[in-house]
Structure 1
Amino acid sequence: MRAMKLAAPLVAALFLQACASAPAMPKPAALPMPAMPAAASTEGSIYAAGAMALFEDQKARRVGDTLMIVLVESTSAQKKASTATSKDSNASIDGPTLFGRPVTVNGVPVLEAELGSTKTFKGDGDSSQSNKLQGSVGAVVMQVLPNGNLVISGRKQVQINQGSETVSIEGIVRPIDIRPDNSITSDRVANASISYSGQGAVADSNVMGWASRFFNSGWFPF
């Protein structure tokens, strides 16, 4: 009877945990918006110096303009190392002599010694890594450099069920590399910083527990 009383709270806790709702995903922090220059007022003319020309294309060229970054990232790296060393050492010590004869005990020379050692080391290492990222991310022109290049920053977050995926990119683009449809491939972005991360149940399933991390770390003595 006492065991039933002790087991009842545990069973109730398990049922309550199964009925618990999934935690709400945190909202992404707002991206900093570029400081837009104040529009200078003009008098006596219907044209403004900073306005778009009549036959001008729609490419991004000013602070606050947007453009599309097409992600075409694909990298592959491989490294292999091999080391082999070997060392042999030999030394012999002759026994002493007395009146020109070796000192023996029961006919066996004494104090004679031979030393020898062999050291061998062989190590092999092989490492390879590859990644592929495709998609598109909208970006905003944050700054126009003196030479006309554009500093851009963009981020996209997609939330599905109990997880979210976030792609962000920052870098510098040349206006000449922007295509007529106001897009540019990511391999044309200089000083590119591209990150892809996820949160939620799918991302958590790819993380080792603390015990597994300990046994696979350098702190594990074996």
Structure 2
Amino acid sequence: MNTLRRRASLALIAAACSLLGACSVLPTTAKVDVLEPTQARPAVPVVPEIANGSLFQSAGYRPLFETHRARLVGDIVNVTIVEKIAAKQESTSSIEKTGDASASVSAVPLLRAEQLAKLRLSASGTSSNTFDGKGTTESSHNFVGTITATVIEVLPNGHLVISGEKQIGVNKNVELLRFSGQIDPTTIQPGNTVASTQVANVRIEQRGRGAQADAQGIGWLAHFFLSILPI
């Protein structure tokens, strides 16, 4: 009985270790390090209120005849995402080597010439080595979309750090689009529009959540066995 109990305990421990190991190899979702937060509200400077009856208040001053261009924290920027990346690499290698060798015996002590001719002592060899290698790598990515981002920081040189996200839910699925980057205010077009090709340090993430995304994943048990198989 004690032996059976020990074997049962060992079997339970082995099963528990297998389950823990399987949990440790579950696939993790890669995340793009989009700048946080993705929304910001303009900070109101602390200015002492002066009861002077004037319409001008420095706390909320915005020039009347200025170009309506994003320049403060909390302003809105419309980003047109047009990212096209294509790369192609080809390599060819060719090696060929050929060698010939031959040898013969013309004289041997204590043997006459006619006896040596009957023996036909000669040797020859040929070697050849040929190698041909070709490789091609090609990658193409195309991402088109639009997103409205918020200015979350104004750098000392006047550049704007923007970040934003868009979530669309349909039935039980959610499509998520997140964007962040740094822009030069001079590249902002009328309507506070800027192309993603003029944004520095771009971070773009497009991912789905819900039943559709779960259906494309691998179960933890199948992933466990795939991780321990030698092939």
TM-score using structure 1 length: 0.68
Where in structure 2 are there 5+ consecutive unaligned residues? 1-35
**Matching residue of 2:108:** 98
Kept in 2, the 8 Å contact 1:172–1:192? The answer is yes
Map of 1:107 onto structure 2: 118
From the two aligned structures, give the one with the greater helix fraction.
2
Shift of residue 141, structure 1, vs aligned partner = 1.2
Kindly indicate which of the two structures has a greater share of residues assigned to strand: 1
For the 8 Å contact 1:96–1:103, the answer to whether it is kept is no
Identity of aligned residues (%): 32
1:117 aligns with 127
Question: CA separation of 1:85/1:159 partners in 2, compared to 1, >3 Å: closer, same or farther?
Answer: farther
Segment drifting more, 113-122 vs 95-104: 95-104
Which residue of the partner structure matches residue 45 of structure 2?
A: 39
Where do 5+ consecutive residues of structure 1 fail to align? 1-30
Superposed, which structure 2 residues align to 1:60-79 within 5 Å? 60-79=70-89
What residue in structure 2 maps to residue 148 of structure 1?
A: 158
The alpha carbon displacement at 1:72 in A equals 1.6
Q: Structure 2: which amino acid aligns with 1:131?
A: H
Q: Is the 8 A contact 1:91 1:116 kept in 2?
A: yes
RMSD (CA atoms):
3.5
31-40 or 56-65: which moved more?
31-40
Bigger shift: residues 147-156 or 95-104: 95-104
Letter in 1 for 2:160: L
- Identify if the C-alpha distance between structure 1 residues 208 and 83 changes in structure 2 by more than 3 Å, giving closer, same or farther: farther
TM-score with structure 2 setting the length: 0.65
Higher relative contact order (CA 8 A, sep 6+): 2
Task: Using the TM superposition, give the Cα deviation of residue 77 of structure 1 relative to its aligned residue in structure 2, in angstroms.
Answer: 2.1
Q: How many residues align?
A: 186
Matched with 2:23 is none
**Partner SS, residue 58 of structure 2:** coil
Q: Deviations over 1:118-142 (max 9, x none)?
A: 1111122222222222221121212
Letter in 1 for 2:64: L
The whole-number CA distance in structure 2 between the counterparts of 1:101 and 1:51 is: 121
Partners in 1 of 2:176 and 2:114 — Cα distance?
86
The residue type paired with residue 45 of structure 2 is A
